[in-house]
Amino acid sequence: MQVRRLTALAILPVVIAGGAAACSGDSDSGDSGNGSAAVLSVGIGEPKHIVPANTGETEGGQVVYAIFAGLLDYDKDGKPYNVIADSITTDDSKIWTIKLKDGFTFHNGEKVTSESFIDAWNWGAYGPNASDVNSYYAQIDGYADLNPEDATQTPASKQLSGLSKVDDLTFKITLSEAFSDFNTELGYTAFFPMPKAAFDSEGNITKEYEEAPIGNGPFKIKGTWNHDTNIETERFEGWKGTKPKIAGLNFRIYQDLKAQYSDTLANNLDINRQVDTSNLINAKNDFGDRYQMSRNSSFQFLAFPVYDETYAKAEVRKAISMAIDRDQMVKTVFADTQESARSFISPILPGYRDDTCGEACQYDPAAAKTLYQSVGGPATIQITYNADGGHKEWIEATCNQLQANLGITCQAQPETKFADMLTKVKDKTPGVGMFRLGWIMDYPSMYDYLQPLYHTNGSSNYYGYSNPEFDRLIAEGAAAKTSDEAIKLWQQAEDVLASDLPVIPLRYGQNPFVTSENVKKADINLFTWVDPYTVEAA
């Protein structure tokens, strides 16, 4: 699930060194209705996509969150509240009725209606479109008809039978199985609406729309997406929700987090969402009160291509995990701005348990080396990481630990962009080896940390992991009548992960961020995004 995302950042996050300086104006105190006349700049990495039905990573998600709005959103504690939805109701957790608030429009004036959601979800669910968030619609009835097991077959339908329009402001969702957490899931960006203008006569998203999406949120695209440079937005005066306090956000794209830090210090970038590891110890002295910390839901881990014979043995994976000193890494590389992870879900969630990884996540270099040698672990391993996310220091430190503790050669291999790395691992490109990933929740549920990352058909299962017992427990939990029953089953599924260890839990993150002198207030939320509604210019 939105690999709410697979995160590019070390969460630390992502992004280009070039681009225009921040365009910050003076606050217009007399403009209480429309807010400041300032445009503030935000550092991001190059997104893969910026339309809701095809965006499954943090950087694109930041842009989507600013220019679109969904049925609901989440407060600072992860609790959902309605935005476009007037009500979301069900009697059985299988058939859901959505009533929309009247008066919301897209940036081109088109009204937000039931069809705006139905059309967007149908596109994302249609297998041949190869949406990065396709599996998020799998719970809706009729999904199988849009996604035949044989991908070479033409799907039986292009529309989900579980979506039905009642009227312009009401639609029904029928799930294939009851899912008590479904209403919470609807705040994920994959469930945002799109206008008729997004699609051509064949129902395909146009290339023009991909480059300049027409949203329905508080900001609208100004011009088009300047790849590897920036994405400019301006306040949408027709927005009916909470009014932004600035005139626009300029998302500046970086390949290097250090450049973001330097630009923010020079007041050439206004918001650096995640301080790079090398500057964490300097940030307080450099920025004073403009260096801040907030909670996020990130989970950082190393993944194994389990389809590769090199890493096919669980014992090899366990030995590598035991050879990593998480606590030392948190202290020396991350200056205690992160927390060691020895479980597979975030501590902020109901159902979290300490140390579910067990022995495999306890640092024991002697036992690790003995195990590694006894099962014939490879003499050389590679860890691939995205160079645009502030990962170089900790990946190299990890390699150093593995070399010292296992007596092997470890190569830290950078990939220029996060999007490029995702494409390679998704395509199972040879030579990638182990690779780092991070996850930010799409919505506050254990299901969101387990199903997309580890289910056989999970949207972000880039490592080829498949265990029928895990899949069964995930499905039974989703169909449970109460949240407590679901959590018990999902905890059992997490125990299966701890045994198989397709990934190594490493760290839980926070948002250590800095702002320029042009910023009065900025909030970085649980998803590592700038909150577009609360940011203020100085």
Q: Where are the domains of the chain?
A: 297-509
pLDDT > 90 fraction of the chain, expressed in percent and rounded: 77
Residue 178: pLDDT over 50: yes
Q: Residue 138 corresponds to which tokens in the numbers above?
A: 């799998």
Residue 193: pLDDT over 90: yes
Which residues neighbour 405 within 8 Å (Cβ) at sequence distance 6 or greater?
A: 323, 365, 368, 369
The mean pLDDT of 406-418, rounded to a whole number, is 93
Please choose, from the candidates 55, 88, 54, 49, the residue with its C-alpha nearest in 3D space to the C-alpha of residue 71: 88
The mean pLDDT of 198-204, rounded to a whole number, is 96
Asked if 297 contacts 5 with a C-beta cutoff of 8 angstroms, the reply is no
Torsion, Cα 140 145 148 152, to 10 degrees, reads -130
The mean pLDDT of 84-94, rounded to a whole number, is 95
The mean pLDDT of 206-229, rounded to a whole number, is 98
pLDDT > 70 fraction of the chain, expressed in percent and rounded: 93
| Of 359 and 23, the one with more pLDDT | 359
Which residues neighbour 338 within 8 Å (Cβ) at sequence distance 6 or greater?
A: 11, 300, 330, 507, 508, 509, 510
Please choose, from the candidates 524, 404, 486, 359, the residue with its C-alpha nearest in 3D space to the C-alpha of residue 7: 524
Q: How far apart are CA 100 and CA 408, in angstroms?
A: 59
Asked if 273 contacts 254 with a C-beta cutoff of 8 angstroms, the reply is no
pTM, entire model = 0.77
**Answer CATH for 297-509 from 1.50.10.10, 2.60.40.10, 3.10.105.10, 3.30.70.560:** 3.10.105.10
Q: Indicate the pLDDT class of residue 430, thresholds 50, 70 and 90.
A: confident
- Give the position of tokens 């109460």: 482
In 3-state terms, what secondary structure has residue 208? Answer: helix
Q: Indicate the pLDDT class of residue 273, thresholds 50, 70 and 90.
A: very high
| Chain-centroid distance, C-alpha 10 | 13
Start-end of H helices in 3-113:
58-67
The mean pLDDT of 43-53, rounded to a whole number, is 97
Asked if 194 contacts 84 with a C-beta cutoff of 8 angstroms, the reply is no
